[in-house]
Amino acid sequence: MIEIRFHGRGGQGAVTSVELLALAAINEGKFAMGFPSFGPERRGAPVMAFCRVDDKHIRLRCKILNPDVVVVLDPSLLRIQNPPADLKENGIIVLNTNKTPAEIRREYGYKHTLVLVDANRIAREVLGVPIVNTTMLGALLKATNVVPVDSLDHPLKERFGPLAVKNFNALKVAFEQSIIEERRP
């Protein structure tokens, strides 16, 4: 099983991301669940969402405390919450940033595998708005191969209708432009 925790801010689409990913996995014949962690959050407040994907039935129904992957939609959360703090030893950090892996490692001391993408820039260029959820899905798919890129096509069409094409294009651009730097011992 792969356990993925998304960290974002209200309105960035973290919850939508886990729903789309879960639907894509189910369409691929896998078992998946995606769910948010909600309280009195409002637009701009930190939020978390969780996704589990497996080849067999998933019985866990709790928050993901020690994820395999942490996806950070808003890099300012690194200072506020430290999303990768409880990431598994061989875990992956998927981060929306315009910084290099060396800058991120120097600033935060991360030893995990880094997958970096300037999702804000891609979203503005391709979508015309700085909403990075589908863009970050592209980086996640490059990092994990949890589902094929094309498996997101149908869920995107169902969710976004005529806007699906732009969202799918943003996802593909992020997939292509994501930088992966393996774990540092």
Per-residue pLDDT tens digits for 141-162: 999 999 999 999 999 999 999 9
Instruction: Write the CATH number for 78.
Output: 3.40.920.10
Rounded-to-integer distance, Cα 185 and Cα 183, Å: 6
pTM: 0.94
Among 29, 34, 39, smallest CA distance to 17 is for 34
Number of domains in the chain: 1
Range of the domain at 106: 2-181
Task: Say which DSSP state 54 is in.
Answer: E
Residues 100, 134 contacting (CB under 8 angstroms):
no
> Tokens 């992020």 — which residue?
174
Q: How much is the pLDDT for 81?
A: 87
Rounded-to-integer distance, Cα 165 and Cα 41, Å: 30
Per-residue pLDDT tens digits for 111-126: 999 999 999 999 999 9
Task: Say which DSSP state 41 is in.
Answer: -
Residues 20, 137 contacting (CB under 8 angstroms):
yes
Q: How much is the pLDDT for 46?
A: 86
Query: Higher pLDDT residue, 43 or 176?
Result: 176
Residues 118, 98 contacting (CB under 8 angstroms):
yes
Strands 69-72 and 2-9: parallel
